[in-house]
Every structure is written in structure tokens, then in C-alpha cells.
Amino acid sequence: MREGSLEAPTRHPLGHDKPEFWDEENLFAELERVYDICHGCRRCVSLCGSFPTLFDLVDESDTMEVDGVDKKDYWKVVDDCFLCDLCYLTKCPYVPPHEWNVDFPHLMLRAKAIKFRKGEAKTRDKLMTSTDTIGKFATIPVITQTVNAVNNNGLTRKLMDSTLGIHPDALLPKYDSNTLQKRDRKRDNNRIKPQATSTTTGKVALFATCYGSYNEPDIGEDLIKVFEHNNIQVKLAEGTQCCGMPKLELGDLDAVTAAKDANVSILSKLVDEGWDIITPVPSCTLMFKQELPLMFPGDDDVIKIQKAMYDPFEYLMLRNKDGKLDTGFKKPLGKVAYHVACHQRVQRIGMKTREALQLVPDTEILTIERCSGHDGTYTFKSEHHDTAMKICRPVVNKVKQGDVDYYSSDCAMAGHHIEAGLADGSKPVHPISLLKIAYDL
């Protein structure tokens, strides 16, 4: 038996197609095994709420071991996990190929899936993860102003807290009736002649994402401007739906499968036509790069899309290697606090965003490698909001201490979570928008 591992972590398929995946007795045996390993290590205590919850349960038990914890309380650990994946990637010494084979995030996902199948998911959680349904409704022009007003009204927010369990202080995303699809209709996406490199085709299909379509279409617009400025042809991937990440975090694997089926048929055809695929949201990129291939390892189209999927800054820096990135920036950015999104770190591409921003003259990047604690829906929940803000506090403190000109995160929602923690009236600026500023576009 070896202590820890220096080998690169590997990932096994999720295995949700096997009967034992859904066996609750088998699940609890595995939870006890992994909880006991985590209790003996405790390296992940600073990452999220799951590990402090687990260790408190152990320390307050009669035996001060996992066998003294009521198995009903195992679910408290599961509920505090928001699948950031950092424990697997950055902390745990027992991930495969180590013989202990610890994959804490996917064990939590398995538990969430069983809980969902048992019908124990809250109505609030089902609603909040239905991003396409909410987005399409909330961006109807007459309704958008009402939704945004309700989401920012103290009285209605208290009502949402008491009826739905949405915390009154959580900063809810705004909706924009002028969606990215509407804004992009008049753009001629054929005016750029693609210039391929050794690793890229020079033509990208933008998977706009729910958030990029309905909440902050400005990010998508800025991305298109930056890419076209670098002679990259861009078109929107039409007819797609949510990537499935919100439903994955809920444990609704049937909904994830349905979203996969809808999106893969569209994206696979685009890849066949020579398009690379990018998304402006790290979680969506990760969904196609990691989660769907682990759920459907035998699906050739899923693997094809995985190989063609890129983070925006990963793509730009690949182009830079072949001299195809315009580095003639016109404006300095000063000092930028750059928060590295968890789901971008998990992609194992390196800090491509930081590398790109460092190309801008007279620009200093303060890198913050801590989870913001947002997780899509986690911070909105009344029972988790305070924990989410606590997780974000070290990030907020670094921004405050940095005396920066901008603060930024590839995850726009993480950026707004930092905004909520700062509570000083300042706003985050997405990294792609920082490049647009630097180019003076």
C-alpha cells in the first residue's frame, strides 16, 4: 500500500448504465469507504462545505470515526458538494490510478442521481436548473423588466425565501430581452476568410450557452469582436439547448442525456463541416470536454465533439503559437485581479486567460486560485448562501487588498459572486471584454 500518488489523475466512466450504480445499499457502502479515507486525510477541508460538514459529523460522533455517523447524515455531505472538481484535481492523493480509487465528486454525483430518481429533489432546484425554460420566458420583452424588477425587490425576495428557499441576499442574474441570437442576426459571418494553424481551423462555432444567450449577451458579442479582430470566422451554433451541467449538478441524468442527444446532433455536424467549437462559459466547455465523454464513452460523436471543443483563451493562445494572434494592443489594463474559475482549472489547459492578458503592455495580473463558491445555483439556496459567501471571502479579500483597476473571472457568475462579496458598487469585467478594451474595439 502506497501513501498517495504522484501519477497524473485518471477518470473512470461514470457507470450510470450499470445496475450497481443505482443500488442504494452499494452507494452507502462506498460513501462510508470514501468518507473514512477523507476523514483520515482532511487535506480538502478548505475547499467547500462538504468536507467541514463531514469532519464535524465525525468529530461529534460517539466513536469519533465514520462508523459513528448516522447514515442519514451522509446526505448532508452530498448536499454541500457542488461538483467543482477541485478536490479531485488539486488535493486528493488517492484518485485513480491509486488503488484506493477515490473520485469524490463523481461519488457525490452518483448520490445526487439516486436522490433525484427517488423523487427527493426540491421543486426549487428543478426550477432553477431549467435554464432554457426560464431564459426563454424571462427574455420575452414585456416580461424581462418585470422579472428583473421582482428579482431585485426586497419584499418579493423575502417571499421567494419563505416559499421557494431562494436567499433574499443572493445576487440573481439579470435577463436581457435582446438576446445574443437577436443581436447576431445582421452580422455577416462569412466576411472573414479562415486561416488554419497546425492546431485550429480558424473557424469556430460559438455554443452561446443559456447564460450567454439570455443573461449577458454582451460577453458573446465581445467574444465575436475579439475573434473576428484576429481573423477567426465565427458563427453561432443554431438550435442548441442547455449543455446539461445544471441538471448534472441536480442529479437528473435523464435530462442530461436528452440535452446531449439534442446538442450532439447539431455540434457533430458542425465538426464534420470543419468548425471548431467554443463556449464562453467554463462549465459548459467542461461538460463537453469531460462529463459527457465520461457518461457516454462509447458515443463516437461525443468523443468527436470533445476533441473539437475549446476554451476561448485556449483557442487564442493556440493561435498565438503559430503567430496568428494580434498582439498590437492599444490600451493598457493596469492591474487586474483575475479569478481562475474551478471548471476552467479542471480542463487542465493551464492559465491561458492569464497568458493572453499578460500580453497587454503595462498590465499586471493578480491571479486568484480559489473557488468563488458560486456554483450556478448553490449560492441562491437559502440553506447554502452563507456558506457560499464564506467560501468567497478569501477571493474578495484578495481583490480588496490588490487595489486593482479591474476584477475578472472566466465564469461570469463567479465574477458577480465576487461583486456581491465586495458590495461596493463595482462590477466585474469578463476577460474577453478586457481584451476588447485592450484592442480598443
Over residues 208-223, mean pLDDT: 94
- How many CA atoms lie less than 13 Å away from 327 in the CB half-sphere? 14
Sheet holding 363-368, edge to edge: 363-368, 334-339, 406-409
Quick: pLDDT tens for 119-172. 999 999 898 899 889 899 889 887 898 888 988 888 999 999 899 899 999 998
Quick: pLDDT tens for 46-83. 888 899 999 999 999 999 999 999 999 999 999 999 89
**pLDDT of 375:** 81
**Domain spans, the chain:** 19-117, 123-163, 180-318, 328-439
Cell of 185: 442576426
**pLDDT of 100:** 92
Q: What angle do CA 302, 306, 309 make, to 5 degrees?
A: 130
**pLDDT of 199:** 95
Over residues 190-202, mean pLDDT: 93
- How many CA atoms lie less than 13 Å away from 16 in the CB half-sphere? 25
Whether residue 1 has pLDDT greater than 70: no
Instruction: Please state the three-class secondary structure of the chain as a single string.
Output: CCCCCCCCCCCCCCCCCCHHHHCHHHHHHHHHHHHHHHHHHCCCCCCCCHHHHHHHHHHCCCCCCHHHCCHHHHHHHHHCCCCCCHHHHHHCCCCCCCCCCCCHHHHHHHHHHHHHHCCCCCHHHHHHCCHHHHHHHHCCHHHHHHHHHHHCCHHHHHHHHHHCCECCCCCCCCCCCCCHHHHCCCCCCCCCCCCCCCCCCCEEEECCCHHHHHHCHHHHHHHHHHHHHCCCEEEECCCCCCCCHHHHHHCCHHHHHHHHHHHHHHHHHHHHCCCEEECCCHHHHHHHHHHHHHHCCCCHHHHHHHHHEECHHHHHHHHHHCCCCCCCCCCCCEEEEEECCHHHHCCCCCCHHHHHHCCCCCEEEEEECCCCCCCCCHHHECCCHHHHHHHHHHHHHHHHHHCCCEEEECCHHHHHHHHHHHCCCCCCCCHHHHHHHHHCC
List the one residue out of 318, 327, 401, 323 whose CA is nearest residue 358.
327
Quick: pLDDT tens for 331-383. 999 999 999 999 999 999 999 999 999 999 999 999 999 989 888 888 899 99
Largest Cα separation within the chain, whole Å, is 71
Integer Cα distance of 291 and 233 in angstroms = 28
Provide the percentage of residues in the chain whose pLDDT is more than 90: 80
The CATH architecture that domain 328-439 belongs to is: 3-Layer(aba) Sandwich (3.40)
Distance of CA 414 to the CA centre of its chain: 9
Residue 275 backbone phi and psi in degrees, to 5: -90, 135
Check whether the bond before 9 is cis (ω within 30° of 0): no
302 touches 375 (CB < 8 A): no
What radius of gyration do the chain's Cα atoms show? 22
Cell of 53: 460538514
Integer Cα distance of 59 and 39 in angstroms = 9
Whether residue 4 has pLDDT greater than 80: no
Over residues 181-203, mean pLDDT: 93
246 touches 132 (CB < 8 A): no
| pTM, 2 dp | 0.93
Q: Which residue has the cell 470543419?
A: 274
Integer Cα distance of 276 and 171 in angstroms = 34
Whether residue 3 has pLDDT greater than 80: no
**pLDDT of 91:** 85
Over residues 113-122, mean pLDDT: 94
Whether residue 114 has pLDDT greater than 70: yes
Whether residue 2 has pLDDT greater than 90: no
**pLDDT of 237:** 96
Cell of 328: 498590437
Whether residue 278 has pLDDT greater than 80: yes
**pLDDT of 376:** 82
Over residues 78-104, mean pLDDT: 91
Kindly list the distances between the CA atom of residue 15 and the CA atoms of 74, 77, 262, 297, 298, in Å, as whole numbers in the listed order.
Answer: 21, 22, 21, 10, 12
